Amino acid sequence: MASDASQAKLIDGTTLAASIREDVAQRIKSKQTASPRFQPQLAIVQVGERPDSTTYVRMKAKAAEQVGVKFRHVAVPVESSAEQIVKIVEDLNADDNVNGILVQLPLGDHITSAGERLVTEAVSPRKDVDGFHAYNIGHLSSRASDPLFAPCTPAAVMRLLKSTNTPISGANAVVLGRSDIVGSPVASLLRNADATVTQCHSRTKNIPDILKNADIVVAAIGKAEFVQGAWLKPGAVVIDVGINYVPDATKKSGQRLVGDVQFSAALNVASYITPVPGGVGPMTVAMLMENTYLAATRQWDESKNLKIKPLALNILDKVPSDIEISEAQIPKPIADVAHEIGIQANELENYGKYKAKVDLGILDRLAHRKDGKYIVVSGITPTPLGEGKSTTTIGLAQALGAELGRPSFACVRQPSQGPTFGIKGGAAGGGYSQVIPMDEFNLHLTGDIHAVTAANNLLAAALDARIYHEATQSDKALYSRLVPSKKGKREFAPLMFKRLKKLGIDKTDPNSLTPEEITRFARLDVDVETITWNRVLDTNDRYLRKITIGQNPTEGGLERVTGFDIAVASECMAILALTTGLQDMTERLGAMVVATSKQGEPVTADDIGVSGALAVLLKDAIKPNLMQTLQGTPVFVHAGPFANIAHGNSSIIADRVALKLAGTEEGDSSDRVGYVLTEGGFGADMGMEKFCNIKCRVSGLKPDATIIVATTRALKMHGGGPDVTPGKPLHDTYTKEDLVTLKEGCKNLKKHIENSRKFGVKVIVAINQFASDTEAELALVRDEALSAGADGAVVSNHWAKGGVGARDLAEAVIAICEGESDFKFLYDVKLPISEKIEIIGKEIYGADGIELSDLARQQIETYTRQGYNNLPICMAKTQYSFSHDPKLKNVPTGFTLPIRAVRLSAGAGFLYPILGEMQTMPGLGTRPGFWEVGLDKDTGRVVGLF
């Protein structure tokens, strides 16, 4: 360094800090112009109320306000343990709104240095704006890498040096001090800037001699005025980091602040020097603001650039069994899938390695986002073998997510164990388009169906118990047991106020009810002939369809005939699929009608007092389950309502979570828009119609398109081909080219397209290709679909090729779904019940009209009188025909729909007319699927599952 006889220039840290703060403020404003929700936030954890710590926190809070950084002060009791502080830090790590975390040191005399390190190491490196984490310190010390953040004071030292334009490369630099906070990090930064660094400390010998050769001196040794002016090389640049108080009688406080350098003496030797105060101090706080901005920018950009890391598929020409394909793929840990799609760690509840539940709080966190594109996957009227809706849903999700790199989510129902161990099999998709692990998917998953079973059967038990107790007790005894005296005081249970309000009794004191009010309150007076609530079991068991209960002598002869349904036919399952949150679910469960009283009033779960307990049993089941496809794209598996007597769609909650994760906000590029594929059960006349008229009415969501899955096999069947029967070989009609039969069957496809367009959505036909399909057959289906008004018709071979086989379909979906949805409902729910039924019958099924049985008329009159007439309609009919008769294929005409009965699902929120005989408990065939299922004796893996 050149010598300068004149006095050293002061390095004005206060002015430089102000310019840095102003620059940070401008960068924040600029970022917010493009992305209004961008808001850096700094959280400082302070233990106790040490005056010096409080002063430092106040300085940082003031600086944060100046630059536009949101500040959060987390005050922690002085007696808190290191472990308790770590828990606070971990919560801040998981908070997406917090970008920077600083733990104000010291933490207190009761916390050891090891405990202090435990706390500072708990801060996530990506939020470690103080730069104290071992990750950042380690990278700072490495020539091969850069830290996410440099510690604020060392960074301030480097910025002050650079402000002097002093060459650092090749300079001799001496650092006095070896603390982890200043000395050692400064030495690393100087070495990284190509200075030759000597680091001294309290035990270094001959410090004056070492300083004589120093072009740059950084004093951070913590000794007041330790460095004498005579020790310095003329023209040296001096950065004084010291903060020391010495006695000074002239000061009001009796002391004054000095650095580690004799300032007055050094002033005549150095070329540049920092004053104390006014040098490093204000710069440290400014660098903290800059680090916080950098952290916020980095985290913001990361959230915008989340990408699924696809899993590679090993495609074999001869496609193995579904379970062989599933077990050959190694899934990603579900936590990795969650991270890739933007789910935070505190929003994920792992159930093993490959499945997890997602906390509903994510909907609040992402409420600001505009939903992604919403597509319902349906199909033509199927054969008993199914036409591949699930497989298409999964294959398309793989194509969008793994092949085209677009945010993509499949939302499917959880399969029942009934078909899994019966004939149909599971619902994980098939071939190279599956949800994995498929054995976990098709079995217990996370226990949601078991929870539904428990809730349903608790209500059944409570109903029968109430009937028994009312039959065996007087009004007074019954009331005394319902509202018992506890420690001399009687109180109504919270749920009882609902019943009191329903009865018009405006009293809160149990002792104030009149004898007449006691009778009305205590007696539900159930007409057992009107009970509609069955017990459920998730197994095909034909011998439970009709049973007699109450045969034991202890039940006093109160026998009655009842039955079991399969668990997915429970109204509790329909509610799980249609609910929008915990409170909504509780209210829906309470509103379920299980019978009618002898006075003609509906008897509900609230009347029985069990709705709170039902909600408790379902409190975890309400959270959607996250899994993945064979190619590692996300799948939400949630709820599994029966597709005949219920609406046959997965949950609103899963769709909403997926739509937000696939969504965008102001400033996002157009290619950030994601796609949610939600599947509706059976043909478009069933699942899609119910999706639109029931599910969307509850959710308020608007679909952008419907995908209708078609196969030449099903179309040929509708064109007059022989019956398709599970377990029997296909007729040659289905394995050889037959354009005449196929063209006739395309009328069924055309009717589904016509129906879909009535809801104002785009229509895309996905032609699910089979190995025996010819080019001429596929071209015919495509041409017929387009001529019928489909917006697109694409051949897809995802079963044999995975996402690659659905790439053309994915590109068509992206192109066709541009713009806003013109979705509309088919009918107004305020219309009379019979008129709504007739609209569906005529518009969707092509019927000439409806014919109500005497029972159906009576039920409609009852529901209208009870105030249930404004509910949507959920038609319960065969899935194998547009009509009520499964034998009527293709597009039948000239028929009238016979409405045998109309039942009420008050909690789920719909009425379901029954057409023909609908079984709500399937039976096992002669040769069920369970014969093949077992465990490999060596590995314990599931074998024989499809």
Q: Which helix (H) or strand (E) holds 650?
A: none
* Beta-sheet pairing, 408-412 with 196-200: unpaired
pLDDT in tens, 883-914: 999 999 999 999 999 999 999 999 999 999 99
> Of the ranges 99-113, 658-672, 871-885, 921-935, which one carries the lowest mean pLDDT score?
921-935
pLDDT in tens, 788-823: 999 999 999 999 999 999 999 999 999 999 999 999
pLDDT at residue 927 greater than cutoff 70: no
Residue at a domain's end among 784, 817, 850: 817
| pLDDT computed for residue 2 by the predictor | 43
**Top-confidence residue, 545 or 2:** 545
pLDDT band at 671 (very low <50, low <70, confident <90, very high): confident
| pLDDT computed for residue 921 by the predictor | 67
pLDDT at residue 4 greater than cutoff 60: no
| pLDDT computed for residue 930 by the predictor | 62
Q: 121 in the Ramachandran plot: left (φ > 0), alpha (ψ -120 to 50) or beta?
A: alpha
Does residue 491 sit within a domain? yes
Does residue 248 sit within a domain? no
Question: Whose CA is closest to 344, among 48, 95, 636, 524?
Answer: 95
Residues 464 and 597 placed together within one structural domain of the fold: yes
- DSSP for 884-908? S-TT--SS--S-EEEE-EEEEETTT
Residues 665 and 804 placed together within one structural domain of the fold: yes
Does residue 81 sit within a domain? no
Residues 430 and 453 placed together within one structural domain of the fold: no
pLDDT at residue 710 greater than cutoff 60: yes
Q: What are the catalytic residues?
A: 60, 104, 130
Residues 624 and 764 placed together within one structural domain of the fold: yes
- DSSP for 444-505? TTTSHHHHHHHHHHHHHHHHHHHHHHHHHS-HHHHHHHHS-EETTEE---TTHHHHHHHTT-
pLDDT at residue 880 greater than cutoff 60: yes
| pLDDT computed for residue 941 by the predictor | 74
Q: Which two tokens stand for residue 836?
A: 């709504």
Rounded CA separation 490/485 (Å): 4
Does residue 77 sit within a domain? no
Residue at a domain's end among 618, 641, 676: 618
The domain that holds 795 is classified in CATH as: 3.40.50.300
Arithmetic mean of pLDDT, 195-206: 94
Residues 600 and 650 placed together within one structural domain of the fold: no
pLDDT band at 643 (very low <50, low <70, confident <90, very high): confident
User: Judging by beta carbons within 10 Å of its beta carbon (0-12, 13-18, 19+), is residue 133 exposed, middle or buried?
Assistant: buried
Arithmetic mean of pLDDT, 100-118: 91
pLDDT band at 423 (very low <50, low <70, confident <90, very high): low
| pLDDT computed for residue 796 by the predictor | 97
SS3 of 737-755: the string is CCHHHHHHHHHHHHHHHHH
Please give the torsion angle defined by the CA atoms of residues 478, 482, 485 and 486, in that order, rounded to the nearest 10 degrees. 150
Rounded CA separation 544/530 (Å): 19
Residues 630 and 769 placed together within one structural domain of the fold: yes
Residues 440 and 587 placed together within one structural domain of the fold: no
Residues 380 and 491 placed together within one structural domain of the fold: no
User: Percent of the chain, pLDDT > 90?
Assistant: 81
The domain that holds 499 is classified in CATH as: 3.30.1510.10
Residue at a domain's end among 817, 844, 868: 817
> Of the ranges 356-360, 422-426, 685-689, 829-833, which one carries the lowest mean pLDDT score?
422-426
Residues 6+ apart with CB under 8 A from 644: 682, 686, 876, 877, 878, 879, 918
Does residue 246 sit within a domain? no
Does residue 813 sit within a domain? yes
Give the CB-side neighbour count of residue 53, counting CA atoms within 13 A: 19
Residues 768 and 863 placed together within one structural domain of the fold: no
pLDDT band at 424 (very low <50, low <70, confident <90, very high): low
pLDDT at residue 848 greater than cutoff 70: yes
Q: Check if the beta carbon of residue 766 is closer than 8 Å to that of residue 392.
A: yes
Question: Whose CA is closest to 411, among 449, 374, 365, 464?
Answer: 374
> Of the ranges 106-110, 724-728, 941-945, which one carries the lowest mean pLDDT score?
941-945
User: Percent of the chain, pLDDT > 70?
Assistant: 96
Residues 343 and 472 placed together within one structural domain of the fold: no
Residues 855 and 714 placed together within one structural domain of the fold: no
Is the link from the previous residue into 277 a cis peptide, with omega within 30 of 0? yes
Residues 468 and 612 placed together within one structural domain of the fold: yes
Does residue 266 sit within a domain? no
Rounded CA separation 784/742 (Å): 10
pLDDT in tens, 769-788: 999 999 999 999 999 999 99
Mean pLDDT (the chain, rounded): 93
pLDDT in tens, 123-173: 999 999 999 898 988 899 888 788 999 999 999 999 999 999 999 999 999
Does residue 59 sit within a domain? no
**DSSP 8-state assignment for residue 275:** -
Domain that holds residue 595: 449-618
| pLDDT computed for residue 488 by the predictor | 84
* Number of domains the chain contains: 3
| pLDDT computed for residue 537 by the predictor | 92
Arithmetic mean of pLDDT, 77-101: 94
CB atoms inside a 10 Å sphere around CB 116: 18
pLDDT band at 386 (very low <50, low <70, confident <90, very high): confident
pLDDT band at 625 (very low <50, low <70, confident <90, very high): very high
pLDDT in tens, 29-54: 999 998 999 999 999 999 998 888 89
